[in-house]
Amino acid sequence: MNLVFIAIALSLIFGAISIVFLNRVKYIRWILFLINSAFQGYVALRIIFSDSPLVDTFVLPFEAPAIGMPKLLLQSSQPGVFFFSISVFITLLIAIFALSSKRKDHCENIASSWMILMAGNAGIFFAGDWITFLLCWEIVSWSAYFIISAKNEEKTKAGINFFTISLISTSALIGAIFIGITGADSFLIADSIAYYLTLWDKGPVMAILTVSLFAVSFFAKAAVFPFHSWFIPAFKQSADEFSVFLCGVFNKYGIFALIVFVLPIFTKSYNGATFAEIPFPIFILCVLAVIGAIWNAISAFRENKIDGFIAHSSVSQIGVILCVMILGRNTGFVSALVYLLAHSIAFAGLTLTASGVKIATGEEKFSKLGGLSRRMPFTFVLFCIFALSIAAIPPTSGFLSQWLVLQNLFRNRFFITSLVVLFVSTISILYIFRAIYGIFLGDNKRFSSIRGDKFLRVISAVIPALILLAIGIAPGIIIRPLNETAQSLGYNTIISETFFVVVSGSVMDFGILAASVFGLTAFGIAFYLIGGRVSKSRAAVYSPQLRIHDKIFQPVEDVFSKILDLFSIDKFFNGIGFEFNRLSSALQRWFNSPQFGIIVLVLMIAGILIIGRVL
Amino acid sequence: MNIALGIIVRVSIALVTGLLFAGIARKTLARLERRYGPPFWQEFFDIIKLFLKRERVSNVFGLSCIIFAIASLLAASMFIPVGNGMPFDSPACLITIYYLIMAAYLAILLGLSESNGLYSIFSNARAGIFIIGYGLVFITIIISITVRYNSSSLIAVASGQIGGFTHWNIVTMPVGFIASMIMLHGVLTRKPFGALIADEVSVTGFGSKTYAFVRFFYAINIYIHTALITVLFLGGGTGFLDFTLKQFLLFIVVVLLEPVFARYRIKRALGIFLFMAGALAFVQLILNLYIL
């Protein structure tokens, strides 16, 4: 039995134990969670440094009709290991963070359900057959539902919202899997993918249907337009720790599945219509991702709460990543992987530090926060590093990823997409300014007694911050392993040494860039210190209770709200729900009179049979 | 050693040119308004005077942000090919320059927001709104240029304009040039977009030295944007003097136009940026994509 099986089993056992036996000592659940995460981290390291790929089969101890005893296959692949490593790393950080808090609501059933979720998490990334994949996909969805809706009525609403979209996602996934299984006559994912590749030769209808079903399923999971509406309330209403997981890991499941199942369908076997040399279905997916990116970037700076701006910003950048990944010609795929890594770490870190602020102050509105830079200096510096990375400020890894992505888009002449990428990062400057100022700067005497820099919270954020800076200065350390992942999927690689990168003929030495920015800053500080003595006393009068106002960016909001108010995706889904409700009420009324219901049913069946016969 | 020397020379050029241009602007505007005005070297005296004063308040974060902003702008200036070359062996990517400039603006906004001025946050929020308008115009111009040269390298852009005035982008991309001149007007905080970053409000409570750094920031801002538009639209320069003369011409046009306009309210300024400069830049992008 291999390590991944043990990791999955351990997660399930720990989850079950903490649900059944640890009701009175709930704090121990987080310790178990930390142990479980640490073990998964160990498994990830073992797989990364292992020479041979992992393959193992587990036979379930019962017989199912038609297929006999189901076999669960686990096998490692480069993308699976990459995504698993990110997910485990972020979960480990969350586990460290969670131990720092002794609030009562932290020790509800979140940790127990989350350990079960981690079993599904490992299974998704290592599944070799559809049964394992679907089983783990569902474990993740159900556990997440319980975690999101763990507490009050608001959370339950967010949970139901999430569950409804998950239901759509799973239904579409089952449809696509069914096509693969019946075509390939096998439950193995590899066989189904080989079958999907032949679909274009057999006629476009089935191929487009498969792609559409997969796209619906994975876009819903990745919270990409038009299925992003679950993410924002889920992020806002979840426990702080799970919000970190949502934006750092959860929306990557859809991206992983898209890479492994959908993108191969558009390799050389594609012979359908194209638009600007892009397969037409891919073009449609890109348009959706781009709309989502712009929409959420604008929504992010309209938000005046910490959670709202992080959630919208995360979804916006996921749209960009997905678009670049789908268009991943030449070296685009590696660029998108770097972006994805930077996104995961930066947003996880940002949410961790923001959660620290929320726990310490109990506030989340920018207009009610402020002045925390002196009360929580470490959190402040770390928050700034993550925020700067999200705004792609050199020399963070956010800038590295933007540079790679834009060079690749330019090279492939995807200029409109590059305009969107630049637009999203330009808008981010505004909301990052509001967030940093609103939370940490200015003055707010209300929090003068707070000392919020807890050791474990700082440690959990220091590690990702250092990684972000290290990757931004020396990109070679991450690009070389990511090249291997891209190569395993048949994509081109990026030429890179420790400090410099070559993309499509453009060379950039990130070491020199960092040295010039930091060197000139150091020179400026030295220049400042030369000469007159510096008094350490503060000014006698400091701006009294100066805080950022909710409507501080009203002119920009006025300009962009015209775009946002044109169409509401929430109202669209609400409309669909309302129509379903009406239909079900109508059906209910029919069956109040049994004879009428049976007549309608018989007529419907007859109609379907006649139509089927005619066609 | 050569790199260090190159950096020192470039930093000096950026500071001296920027301060000189700022001084000339003050003098020119004064003469246009029939005042005598300060001498054009007054900026240098002001800076020296401010640096020699003792600092009263120590605001570490605000000061660090302002210095980081200056460092980012100076780092961006290292990537602009002036005359014979650059301090580093670099392709001078427009993307890098753009992000360094945006880093500088974010840092200066945060730095100035930490001042003691009661209304500094409102002043800086206005500046932030304006920077978004500027950024959206600038990215459209960057992409128009990249479409034309199939590269985001400034060296490729400059060498693509060799061959005389008719090859310059001011002739081949006039719509984009007009958009970039509106952008220049705004980014140098000249009327009608003037005083969006109200420094007298923002630096209240900072020490004199910090204020000197803020003045440095504005000076380098002038240098970097005139240098960028010189490379993008006026063919760059074969030598330092040639290049600086073109920069000066651009700058003086902006200064001479200033008295013609009244100061706009922030909403109108943003509208002009987005719907006039932005639209012109977008038209140029479409022209470059599908016609030129």
CA–CA min distance B156, chain A (Å): 11
Instruction: Check: CB of residue A336 under 8 Å from CB of residue A325.
Output: yes
**A387 CB near a chain B CB, below 8 Å?**
no
**A562 CB near a chain B CB, below 8 Å?**
no
The vertex-A218 CA angle with A199 and A127, nearest 5°, equals: 80
Number of H helices, E strands in chain A: 23, 7
Give mean pLDDT, residues B175-188. 89
Find chain A residues with C-beta within 8 A of B201's C-beta: none
Q: Residue A477: helix, strand or coil by DSSP?
A: helix
Find chain A residues with C-beta within 8 A of B205's C-beta: 539, 541-542
> Which residue carries 């959706």 as its tokens?
A288
Find chain A residues with C-beta within 8 A of B187's C-beta: none
Instruction: Check: CB of residue A329 under 8 Å from CB of residue A387.
Output: no
CB-based contact A426 B135, cutoff 8 Å: yes
> Which residues, other chains included, contact A538 with Cβ-Cβ below 8 Å and sequence gap of 6+?
B57, B58, B59
Name the residue among A214, A132, A126, A125 with its Cα closest to residue A170.
A214
> Which residues, other chains included, contact B248 with Cβ-Cβ below 8 Å and sequence gap of 6+?
B21, B24, B226
Instruction: Check: CB of residue A476 under 8 Å from CB of residue A499.
Output: yes
CB-based contact A556 B118, cutoff 8 Å: no
- Residue A228: exposure state from Cβ atoms within 10 A (0-12, 13-18, ≥19): buried
Instruction: Check: CB of residue A230 under 8 Å from CB of residue A223.
Output: yes
**A502 CB near a chain B CB, below 8 Å?**
no
> Quick one: pLDDT at residue A103?
60
Give mean pLDDT, residues B189-218. 71
Report cis status (omega within 30 of 0) of the bond before A395: yes
- Residue A607: exposure state from Cβ atoms within 10 A (0-12, 13-18, ≥19): exposed
Beta bridge partners of residue A305, listed in sequence order: A365
Beta bridge partners of residue A278, listed in sequence order: A275
Which residue in B has a C-alpha nearest to residue A557's C-alpha?
B129
Find chain A residues with C-beta within 8 A of B277's C-beta: none
**A419 CB near a chain B CB, below 8 Å?**
yes
Find chain A residues with C-beta within 8 A of B110's C-beta: 433, 436-437, 441
The sign of the torsion formed by the CA atoms of A280, A284, A285, A287 equals positive
The CA dihedral of A128, A118, A293, B137, to the nearest 10 degrees, is -110
- Give the start-end residues of each E strand in A187-266: none
Nearest to B99 among A402, A410, A419 (CB): A402
Q: How far apart are CA B15 and CA B194, in angstroms?
A: 22
Structure tokens at A170: 């799973």
> Quick one: pLDDT at residue A158?
82
Name the residue among A54, A386, A507, A118 with its Cα closest to residue B153.
A507
Q: How far apart are CA B13 and CA B220, in angstroms?
A: 10
Max CA separation in chain B (angstroms): 59
pTM for this entry = 0.90
CB-based contact B58 A406, cutoff 8 Å: no
Which residue in B has a C-alpha nearest to residue A415's C-alpha?
B143
**Mutation for testing the A interface, residue in B95, B118, B193, B213 having most A CBs under 10 Å:** B95
> Quick one: pLDDT at residue A544?
45
Could you tell me if residue B154 is left (phi over 0), alpha (psi between -120 and 50 degrees) or otherwise beta?
alpha
Structure tokens at A80: 């699976």
Is the confidence at residue B35, as pLDDT, over 50? yes
Does the interface predicted TM-score (ipTM) exceed 0.85? yes
**A373 CB near a chain B CB, below 8 Å?**
yes
CA–CA min distance A346, chain B (Å): 17
Instruction: Check: CB of residue A404 under 8 Å from CB of residue A508.
Output: no
Which residue in A has a C-alpha nearest to residue B135's C-alpha?
A426
**Mutation for testing the A interface, residue in B47, B67, B98 having most A CBs under 10 Å:** B67
What DSSP assignment string belongs to A359-399? HHHS--BGGG---TTTTSHHHHHHHHHHHHHHTT-TTSHHH
CB-based contact A415 B289, cutoff 8 Å: yes
Which residue in B has a C-alpha nearest to residue A417's C-alpha?
B143
Number of A to B CB contacts under 8 A, please give it: 203
Report cis status (omega within 30 of 0) of the bond before B192: yes
Q: How far apart are CA A96 and CA B104, in angstroms?
A: 34
> Which residues, other chains included, contact A74 with Cβ-Cβ below 8 Å and sequence gap of 6+?
A2, A4, A5, A54, A55, A56, A57, A58, A123, A126, A127, A128, A132
Q: How far apart are CA A562 and CA A111, in angstroms?
A: 42
> Which residues, other chains included, contact A93 with Cβ-Cβ below 8 Å and sequence gap of 6+?
A244, A348, A349, A352, A460, A461, A463, A464
Is the confidence at residue B200, as pLDDT, over 60? no
CB-based contact B61 A516, cutoff 8 Å: no
Q: How far apart are CA A231 and CA B162, in angstroms?
A: 52
Report in angstroms the alpha-carbon separations of B132 from A95, A102, A415: 38, 42, 20
Which H/E stretch holds residue B51?
helix B42-52
CA–CA min distance B18, chain A (Å): 17
Interface of A with B in 32-71 (CB under 8 A): none
What DSSP assignment string belongs to A172-183? HHHHHHHHHHHH
- Residue A289: exposure state from Cβ atoms within 10 A (0-12, 13-18, ≥19): buried
Interface of A with B in 478-497 (CB under 8 A): none
Helices A27-48 and A3-20 cross at an angle (nearest 10°) of: 180
The amino acid at residue B223 is Y
CB-based contact B70 A520, cutoff 8 Å: yes
> Which residue carries 């992010």 as its tokens?
A300
Report in angstroms the alpha-carbon separations of A141 from A163, A177, A239, A403: 8, 17, 16, 35
Find chain A residues with C-beta within 8 A of B51's C-beta: 531
Each residue of B218-238: pLDDT tens digit? 899 999 999 999 999 998 878
> Quick one: pLDDT at residue A594?
66
> Quick one: pLDDT at residue A541?
44
Find chain B residues with C-beta within 8 A of A429's C-beta: 102, 105-106, 128, 131-132, 135
Each residue of B115-135: pLDDT tens digit? 766 667 777 777 788 888 888
Instruction: Check: CB of residue B65 under 8 Å from CB of residue B110.
Output: yes
Instruction: Check: CB of residue A495 under 8 Å from CB of residue A501.
Output: yes
CA–CA min distance B220, chain A (Å): 13
**A473 CB near a chain B CB, below 8 Å?**
no
What DSSP assignment string belongs to A274-318? EETTEEHHHHHHHHHHHHHHHHHHHHHHH--BHHHHHHHHHHHHH
CB-based contact A523 B93, cutoff 8 Å: no
Q: Where are the domains of chain B?
A: 2-290
Give mean pLDDT, residues B69-75. 92
Nearest to A393 among B52, B93, B103 (CB): B103
> Quick one: pLDDT at residue B250?
92
The amino acid at residue B254 is V
**A506 CB near a chain B CB, below 8 Å?**
yes
Name the residue among A256, A193, A191 with its Cα closest to residue A222.
A256
What DSSP assignment string belongs to A61-93? SS-BTTTBS-EEEEE--HHHHHHHHHHHHHHHH
Long-range contacts of A180-184 (CB under 8 A, 24+ apart): A180/A130, A180/A210, A181/A130
**A514 CB near a chain B CB, below 8 Å?**
no
> Which residue carries 């219901």 as its tokens?
A597
- Give the pLDDT band (50/70/90) at residue B51: confident
DSSP designation for A152 = S
Q: Where are the domains of chain A?
A: 273-536, 576-614
The amino acid at residue B16 is V
The per-residue pLDDT of chain B, averaged, comes to: 84
Instruction: Check: CB of residue B228 under 8 Å from CB of residue B81.
Output: no
pLDDT along chain A (615 residues), means of 10: 83 87 75 92 88 72 70 84 93 90 63 90 90 92 87 72 89 91 87 87 84 91 86 88 90 90 80 80 89 89 86 91 82 89 94 90 84 87 94 91 90 88 89 88 78 84 93 91 86 85 82 88 82 52 53 70 70 77 76 73 85 75
- A392 phi/psi in degrees, rounded to 5: 60, 40
Each residue of A564-576: pLDDT tens digit? 676 677 777 777 7
CA–CA min distance B37, chain A (Å): 30
DSSP designation for A508 = E
CB-based contact B106 A393, cutoff 8 Å: yes
The vertex-A344 CA angle with A341 and A348, nearest 5°, equals: 145
Structure tokens at B38: 């300060």
Q: Residue A507: helix, strand or coil by DSSP?
A: strand
Q: How far apart are CA B27 and CA B233, in angstroms?
A: 27
CB-based contact B128 A525, cutoff 8 Å: no
The per-residue pLDDT of chain A, averaged, comes to: 84
Report in angstroms the alpha-carbon separations of B209 from A528, B11, B48, B56: 7, 19, 9, 9
Is the confidence at residue B176, as pLDDT, over 60? yes
**b/e sequence A44-77, b meaning 16+ C-beta within 10 Å:** beebeeeeeebebebeeeeeeeeeeebbbbbbbb
